[in-house]
Structure 1
């Protein structure tokens, strides 16, 4: 007997209908023993964390959830705390004038309760009586030494890496090279973006030291397997036309498929494994179900548009507001493929108030700060991200694609404070 909520929908734990993918699971398992840092990337709610949980047991790693307020000192301090240190601030200063920290070894690191016996207690006592280590939280060498002192041997997972500021991401990319060369510690970075070489863009020396795993890509057969695995667990059968229509309208989003299947089950009063196999689902209801799943985020999407349009501050060119123009006037196919810098520039030069006098440098700077702006505005998860390798602005939340396809684009342009488009030109551009 299984609860429907444990099979379909979004849950904190690994879904029971988890499906392994050769392009993700096999690649991750293969590279876990190669002593390289790993980067798991993809759109929001595409199974990045589930992939990591499935392939790497909790006892083999420590997990740190990044904050948008952290710098590299905060990241390193969080790593030490998760590893078992107690952190306090020192009165000593680093070479840059910042405060050092004391890292005191905690008894729980050594698991005395699990080992038992007088010998284990003696070892823990000896360790906890040591003087605290005085460290520079910005110095990766000090962090390595601290971890070495407790014989640390687990993977270090940094979830939500995209929440960090661009400077923090760049600084930690430099630290990753030092971790690779000066220790055996391996990091698993999890972030929302679609750029395979994001970290090597920040630090070219990471080339060959980092393996990237694309968790965004779901083959149609793999999503079908997610549905069929759920059917087996609940002893139900979705109507074949329902499944085909759902896959057609989900824009490749496993989240939308999971939530839509959950809603269909609830509407059909399937709350747990059925005693007798039951057929549910109607292809005529697919659009309404998908829309009901996506429309739950209407407030968030509207808020994203207004906040992104405001930018970091009021400026003459209002670049962030105008970056929304090519996004809100593009076809769904164009958004799914990503908007190339060249096309964005042409669109802005034809429609921005200053037209051809627009400085390309202003466009590039705004594009490179799209993620940082959303992090500052606390847009979670982020919706737009700029791929600096391929010079492409991408939508990294597939729910946004489904949502925007059903909206009046002129209403969205007005919401952003942009001029509406009229007539056939509007229809041609959108469709």
Structure 2
């Protein structure tokens, strides 16, 4: 048994699947599928286990899974579905048109053959046919073809990352999904929380026809169970405090926890199940090795660089603050350092931000308005750079919310300031 088969970041966790918190969600999903004529909307943070949940609850062989990434039209979405189904789509039609040309003749002849006299009437006919092949492009009604292929079938179309589809295309897809579910075609769409209602906004007529299943970040206790199950399978004893630390670093992401556990095995020389006692201790230097190996899979370097630079400065330079580590930094670099402080936190309120900033500075600290203004600019810069909402600044409540645990992990372990 290989360690990579036990801890499986990015793949289905056959040995480390944790479903204690999914019982109610599975029941809601099964009821919706059994009821029929309902669109199932699954929303949750990035890397929170939405896809794994669907695969486990329904079965990978009963899912036609496509991603919204790269979809630019309704037809391109359905073509992906047909490609997975193996449906042949005729694109041209050839017809043969023929014309017949001919002539006939009639006459008589007499003569002698040996002694006998003979006479005969002669007739001749000739005909020729010319054939022309005419090829025309076919217009395919993809919606009707989809219904023909999947109505009343034990297959579910699963559109992952629906939020990646352009808004104008979402609208037409939502209309066609409405028609398809009326014909008992099963659909699930998955998106991140701040886009959970995209499919409804694209077609308000879907209200009343949608079952919503919401995911949140995993608790530390749930993340610990991934480690406990996996290490037991490999015959490894991992210190309980070390497991708790790894779960804290995962910041609510089961996928990131899988990475950390796998790299814990590699960092201590284990690549397959052990026959002798093997202990992973609670050791800070070991933790650093594990996290620095894991951060290689979370490259946010260009995004974080732009966040630290902030918007272009007009007029005077930004105020530089003396920090306790001997360096100096403006409010933007200070905020990045705030996010890297223990304990890992995806959500920071105003008081938390101010307290963390003060803990870094020698004396003078940025003003409250400077901190909130920088949070607003930094969130916009990050989202524009990443092409999706990875940070949200709630200006009404002064709350900074990191949407992707991998971003927080990179800020904490990417050695940005070294």
TM-score relative to the length of structure 1: 0.62
Q: 1:146 to 1:214 in 2, by over 3 A?
A: same
- 1:282 corresponding residue in structure 2: 282
Quote how far apart the aligned CAs of 1:74 are: 0.9
The residue that corresponds to 1:158 in the other structure is 159
Cα distance in 2 between the residues matched to 1:297 and 1:194: 25
Equivalent in the alignment of 1:261 = 261
Gaps of 5+ in 1: 92-131, 318-324, 353-359, 413-431
SS of 1:18 mapped into structure 2 = coil
Cα distance in structure 2, aligned partners of 1:328 and 1:276 = 47
Distance 1:144 1:77, change over 3 A: same
The match for 1:80 is 82
Deviation (angstroms), 1:156: 0.8
Contact between 1:294 and 1:402, CA under 8 Å: does it hold in 2? Answer: no
Q: 1:94-137 deviations in whole A, cap 9, x for unaligned? A: xxxxxxxxxxxxxxxxxxxxxxxxxxxxxxxxxxxxxx984234
Q: Which residue of 2 aligns with 1:41?
A: 43
Q: 1:209 to 1:350 in 2, by over 3 A?
A: same
The 2-side partners of 1:328 and 1:179 are apart by: 52
Q: What secondary structure does 1:74 align onto?
A: helix
Cα offset for 1:348? 9.1
- Does the Cα contact within 8 Å between 2:347 and 2:399 map onto a contact in 1? no
Offset of residue 11 of structure 1? 4.7
- Work out the CA distance in 1 between the residues paired with 2:392 and 2:54: 22
Larger Rg: 2
C-alpha deviation, 1:19, in angstroms: 1.0
Secondary structure of 2:188's match? strand
- Asked if 1:5 corresponds to 2:4, the answer is yes
What do you get for the CA RMSD once the two structures are aligned? 4.5
How far residue 398 of structure 1 moved from its aligned partner, in angstroms, is 0.2
TM-superposed CA distance for 1:407, in Å, is 7.0
Structure 1 pair 351/264, CA: closer, same or farther in 2 (3 Å)? closer
Q: Does 1:395 align with 2:405?
A: no
Cα pair 2:44 2:192 within 8 Å, conserved: yes
1:336 matched residue in structure 2? 346
Q: 1:334 to 1:29 in 2, by over 3 A?
A: same
* SS of match in other structure, 2:34: coil
Partner of 2:173: 172
Q: Are 1:326 and 1:347, in contact at CA under 8 Å, matched by a contact in 2?
A: no
Residue 45 of structure 1 deviates from its aligned partner by 2.5
Q: Distance in 1 between matches of 2:28 and 2:409?
A: 30
Query: 1:203: how far off?
Result: 3.0
Rounded Cα–Cα distance in structure 2 between residues aligned with 1:405 and 1:151? 49
Q: CA deviation at 1:301?
A: 1.0
CA positional deviation for 1:166: 2.7
Change (3 A) 1:386 1:64: farther
Cα distance, 1:77–1:348 mapped onto 2, change above 3 Å: farther
Superposition TM-score, scaled by structure 2 size: 0.64
Q: Using a 3 Å threshold, how does the CA distance of structure 1 residues 241 and 306 change in structure 2: closer, same or farther? A: closer
Establish whether residue 71 from structure 1 lines up as the match of residue 78 from structure 2: no
More strand per residue: 2
With over 3 angstroms needed to count, the CA separation of the structure-2 counterparts of 1:72 and 1:7, relative to structure 1, is same
| Structure that is richer in helix per residue | 1
Distance 1:169 1:370 in 2: 24
SS of the residue corresponding to residue 346 of structure 2 reads: helix
Shift of 1:250: 2.5
CA contact (8 A) 1:83 1:152 kept: no
